[in-house]
Structures are given as structure tokens and as C-alpha cells.
Amino acid sequence: MNAPDFYETDRAVAEYLLFHYGTPSQILPWKSGPTDALEYPARCISECLDLSLLPSHARALDLGCAVGRSTFELARHCSEVVGIDYSHRFIEVARQLQQHGSIPYAYAEEGLLTTPATATVPAEIDRERVKFEQGNAQALRPDLSTFDVVLMANLVDRLPDPRRCLDSLPGLVRPGGQLILTTPCTWLEEYTARPQWLGGFEENGRPIRTLETLQAVLDPHFTLTRALDLPFLIREHARKFQWSVALATVWIRH
Ligand SMILES: C[S@@+](CC[C@H](N)C(=O)[O-])C[C@H]1O[C@@H](n2cnc3c(N)ncnc32)[C@H](O)[C@@H]1O
């Protein structure tokens, strides 16, 4: 299986439904553990979005939305939200959540043992504001128009050509609009050929970090207003977790 095909698997659907909609005790059934890493898809919005900059009837885009939790969270503040992901499976599941508000699934305990659960969109969120579509962040349909908020959570280091995606951002974010870009900077050749990495290598004996390249590419069109560390926790099974700390940056379109 190619690494990008992971996002079309049953395992990925279950892992991401738990990551996005699981309760703290479902995700982390232990007394110890990084509880501040829970609720990441909601914290990408609650900790990064500047509500004071939003116009009334704001329009938002969640690129690489997976099963859609951040897309729904954006709908607390924006009257129209589009979630786009390359995975057909993720979009199918996100659409069911949009239509029905909940979906049954089962998350991994150990080996083939699973626990049945229900992923539920918080009841107070107006799901009518949200639309999901399958698409490629590196070749978006030209008639998407522009947005007051664009979120790209943990996407850039999963793209074959992240610069191509970054180059489209000035055309997607309205002047005064916000770009929220988070990444754990996990550069892997399975997803991104080495020449396309934005950081994590040496050039002329100098270490190049992802933040430096993001600034070089985005600075002509955006002002970096905040950089913060956002921990997140993905449960693989009851006794195995991925604990990561994403670099979150917030940019305002000139
Ligand atoms: C690491 S996951 C992050 C998902 C979600 N934003 C989150 O924070 O939980 C990366 C996501 O990017 C999606 N993706 C990968 N390549 C893509 C592309 N070319 N266009 C749009 N989405 C893509 C994957 O299907 C997956 O849902």
C-alpha cells in the first residue's frame, strides 16, 4: 500500500473518527497521559482563530479536513464552511455526519478487538452551514472563490508538492483574512519526495526548518501574527498512541 492510500482504509477512518469525535476517556483510558493533547481538531480553531477579525457572514475553508471536526468547529463562527479532502472515504463519512449528526463506528482496543462507539457532531453546531467535497489541495477547482478563513491542519507534510498548495493561498484568502496552518513537520519520503520538503534538512551546512521556508514563501502576501505549539494525540489502540506537537502559525492576508 502506498502511504497516501492509508487515508482510504478502514483503520484510518476509525482512527480519525476517534481523534476528531472521541471523548477524552475513549481516547485516553489511563490515569497518566498528555490530556492537554486532546480535542486537537477543536483547539485548532479555539486557540488560533481571531474572532475579532471575522466579518459577519464569514466564509471558511478547511483544506485536508479528514472526517470534518474542525470544519464543524469553524461553523460556530462562520456562516459558510467548505471542507475538502483527497480521501473519498473521509469525505463520505464527513457527509454522513453532516446529514445525520452522528455515525456508528468501532475503535481499536487490541489486535482485532474493537469497542463500538458513535461519533457525534456537537448539537449546538449548525450543520447546514457546512459542505464537504473530495478534492486535491494542490489543484483546487478554480471556482472555489475566496475565504475569510483558511485552515490547513497537519496537511503540508502529507502533500507531494506542498509549495504548489502554498502558492494557491494568496488567491484563496481575502485581504484581512486569516490563514491557520499547523504541521508537526513530519517530513517523510513516502508522502513528499525529499527535494519538495519545506524543512528538516541541511543546505550548505545550515539547518533549514519548516517555519523559515513557510515565512519565505508566505511573507510576500501574509503577515505572520502568531506561532504556537499545539500538542495532539492520535490513539492507534488502547496501549499505543502517537503524541505530537504541531507548529501552529496564524497569518493575515495583506
Ligand atoms: C494528517 S491528516 C490531517 C487531517 C486533519 N486536518 C486533522 O488535523 O486531523 C492529512 C489529511 O490530508 C489529506 N490529504 C492528503 N493529500 C491531500 C491532498 N492532495 N488534497 C487534500 N487533502 C489531502 C488526507 O486525506 C488526510 O485527511
CB 186 within 8 A of CB 244: yes
- Whether residue 43 has its Cβ less than 6 Å from ligand 1: no
Rounded to an integer, the average pLDDT of 130-149 is 98
Residues 6+ apart with CB under 8 A from 149: 49, 54, 58, 59, 60, 61, 74, 78, 177, 178, 179, 180
DSSP state of 101: S
- Whether residue 248 has its Cβ less than 6 Å from ligand 1: no
Rounded to an integer, the average pLDDT of 10-36 is 98
pLDDT surpasses 90 at 1: no
Ligand 1 pocket test, pick from 21, 71, 86 with the greatest ligand atom count within 8 Å of Cβ, gives 86
pLDDT surpasses 90 at 52: yes
Q: What is the DSSP string of 30-79?
A: SSSS-GGGSSHHHHHHHTT--GGGPPTT-EEEEET-TTSHHHHHHTTT-S
- Whether residue 86 has its Cβ less than 6 Å from ligand 1: yes
- Whether residue 94 has its Cβ less than 6 Å from ligand 1: no
* Mean pLDDT of all residues belonging to the chain: 98
CA of 90 to the centre of ligand 1 (A): 9
Which of 249, 248, 253 minimizes the C-alpha distance to 222? 253
Per-residue pLDDT at 218: 98
pLDDT surpasses 90 at 165: yes
Rounded to an integer, the average pLDDT of 190-206 is 98
- Whether residue 7 has its Cβ less than 6 Å from ligand 1: yes
Strand partners, 61: 82, 150
pTM of the model: 0.98
Distance CA 204, CA 108 (A): 45
Residue 152 CA, closest ligand 1 atom number: 6
Per-residue pLDDT at 3: 87
- pLDDT for 91-137, tens place per residue? 999 999 999 999 999 999 999 999 999 999 999 999 999 999 999 99
Residue nearest to atom 1 of ligand 1 (CA): 154
- pLDDT for 58-99, tens place per residue? 999 999 999 999 999 999 999 999 999 999 999 999 999 999
3-class secondary structure, 145: coil
Residue 160 CA, closest ligand 1 atom number: 19
Distance CA 129, CA 67 (A): 16
Question: Element (H or E) spanning 143, and its range?
Answer: none
The alpha helices in the chain, defined as continuous H runs, are 10-21, 24-27, 40-46, 69-74, 88-100, 162-172, 210-218
- pLDDT for 225-236, tens place per residue? 999 999 999 999
Per-residue pLDDT at 117: 98
- Whether residue 157 has its Cβ less than 6 Å from ligand 1: no
Per-residue pLDDT at 249: 99
* Neighbouring C-beta atoms of residue 164, cutoff 10 Å: 14
Per-residue pLDDT at 223: 98
Question: What are 2's three cell numbers?
Answer: 502506498
Rounded to an integer, the average pLDDT of 160-172 is 98
Strand partners, 241: 235
CA of 88 to the centre of ligand 1 (A): 11
Per-residue pLDDT at 234: 98
pLDDT surpasses 90 at 176: yes
- Whether residue 154 has its Cβ less than 6 Å from ligand 1: yes
